[in-house]
Amino acid sequence: MSSNAATSPTLELALDLIGRRSVTPEDAGCQPLMAERLAALGFTIEPMRFGEVDNLWARRGSEGPLFCFAGHTDVVPPGPLADWTSDPFQPEIRDGLLYGRGACDMKGSLAAMITATERFIAEQPEHQSSIAFLITSDEEGPSIDGTRRVIETLSARDERIDFALVGEPSSHQRLGDVIKNGRRGSLGGRLRIRGKQGHVAYPKLADNPVHRAAPALAELCGERWDEGNDHFPPTSFQISNIHAGTGADNVIPGELEVLFNLRYSTEQTPEAIQRRIHALLDRHGLDHQIDWRVSGHPFLTPAGALVEATQAAILAVTGEPTQLSTIGGTSDGRFIAPTGAQVVELGPINASIHKVDECVGVEELDQLSAIYSDILRRLLGDQ
């Protein structure tokens, strides 16, 4: 950290969190640090470890409504350290920006959540409502033993979240210009198309799966799946990897493997998409097999108490309006929304996430904390 940088409680906590090398699924002590702060506020602390994943469920209060801050302490690997201007796990402030892996995604948000909650409870220690934190170290990884398992545990004991704010970096050009009130579903496939291996000099004795599959793959890439709707863009199909052959240029491959993904709207279901793709491949006469993986269903939180409180808080703190969006990848909100909770995502500007020299604005962190506090006041505070 630069010596002339002014500090704030949010910045100090962000520095401490970023300095912990919590590459998925490691937590590296981030959750105990947060739990210590929350326990001091009267939260009941409940660590939940599933497999190699650390999770934290912390709750203050027993009455409804229950507002939950949700997030993750794990970060993606930094890549070659030589590519970074400074060590990704030794946070540094330069020109008003805090640099380090996780600064934006999403340790800055976690710090803002804690200080916002401390501020709100100091103002209204007897609030007639409940606040919770659902924190995992498995968001950037398989997302099997993280938020998904915690929600299953809570549901089994009839513990219901009413409002959930996920701290994913949602902003584009300025803090709060975009909040996510939904996400598209994600359907992935591993397609295997079988041919017959042979010598390239004798193509009639072989069956090249690359050649046979090319027209079908082109048709899939050009397919118009739907028109989307008022909340979601049209469903998209993308090929992410193609592999065939032995590595030799004189061998016709015997099998082609294609990895693909669809981000789909509420106009589609995984089953309908699967039927269309299988029918297309059959029409092209391909001997194929697909292993499917649904990593998230689409969800939407329409206008209501949480959306309205979030929009109003952003306007009050920044003086600027916000817009609703469902674009982007998946988030752990996909595990919370099916329980009936209202879910939004609000966090820092996302331009540097998963990149070398990831960073967040120092002033942005304090503004984010102020927005989070204002949301708590609007939803849970004394009227």
pLDDT value, residue 351: 95
pLDDT value, residue 4: 42
Cis peptide before 106 (omega within 30 of 0): yes
Spatial distance between the Cα atoms of 247 and 227, rounded to a whole number of angstroms = 41
Spatial distance between the Cα atoms of 297 and 202, rounded to a whole number of angstroms = 47
pLDDT value, residue 379: 96
Per-residue pLDDT tens listing for the chain (383 residues):
444 456 899 999 999 999 999 999 999 999 999 999 999 999 999 999 999 999 999 999 999 899 999 999 999 999 999 999 999 999 999 999 999 999 999 999 999 999 999 999 999 999 989 999 999 999 999 999 999 999 999 999 999 999 999 999 999 999 999 999 999 999 999 999 999 999 999 999 999 999 999 999 999 999 999 999 999 999 999 999 999 999 999 999 999 999 999 999 999 999 999 999 999 999 999 999 999 999 889 999 998 999 999 999 999 999 999 999 998 888 999 999 999 999 999 999 999 999 999 999 999 999 999 999 999 999 998 74
Q: What is the DSSP letter of 249?
A: T
- Active-site residue list: 74, 139
Strand partners, 23: 75
Spatial distance between the Cα atoms of 214 and 244, rounded to a whole number of angstroms = 13
* 185 sits in which H/E element: strand 185-194
Residue 233 in contact with residue 268, Cβ under 8 Å? no
- Token pair, residue 183, equals 């996400």
Residue 62 in contact with residue 128, Cβ under 8 Å? no
Spatial distance between the Cα atoms of 64 and 317, rounded to a whole number of angstroms = 26
SS3 call for 320: coil
Strand partners, 199: 251
Please give the model's pTM, rounded to 2 decimal places: 0.89
